[in-house]
Amino acid sequence: MEGCFVVRDGNSATVIWGYMYKKGWQPDVISYNIMLSGLCMCGRVGHAIEFFDDARSHGIAPTVVTWDILVRAVVNC
């Protein structure tokens, strides 16, 4: 997923996320942070906030890194 974001391909990263999730993979806070950071980097802050909400609904507690990603994204909008 991170490689997709390096080339600004947020759509492919989201497809990979969905595929992995369907296969039973359980993401952790690091995986969510990669998605959050990448989506913000691609200018998809709204989508990143949806991922943040999804993480919390699955019991993934945000870290300082998570908050830093989101605050920087909102400030830079």
Model pLDDT for residues 30-56, shown as the tens digit of each residue: 999 999 999 998 889 999 999 999 999
Of the candidates 15, 13, 14, 18, the one whose C-alpha atom is nearest the C-alpha of residue 3 is 13
- Does residue 40 contact residue 72 with C-beta atoms inside 8 Å? yes
Average pLDDT, stretch 62-69?
96
Q: What is residue 66's predicted lDDT score, i.e. its pLDDT? A: 97
- Does residue 35 contact residue 68 with C-beta atoms inside 8 Å? no
Reported confidence tier of residue 76, pLDDT bands at 50, 70, 90: confident
Q: How far apart are CA 53 and CA 67, in angstroms?
A: 12
Residue with tokens 């759509």: 11
Answer yes or no: pTM beyond 0.85.
yes
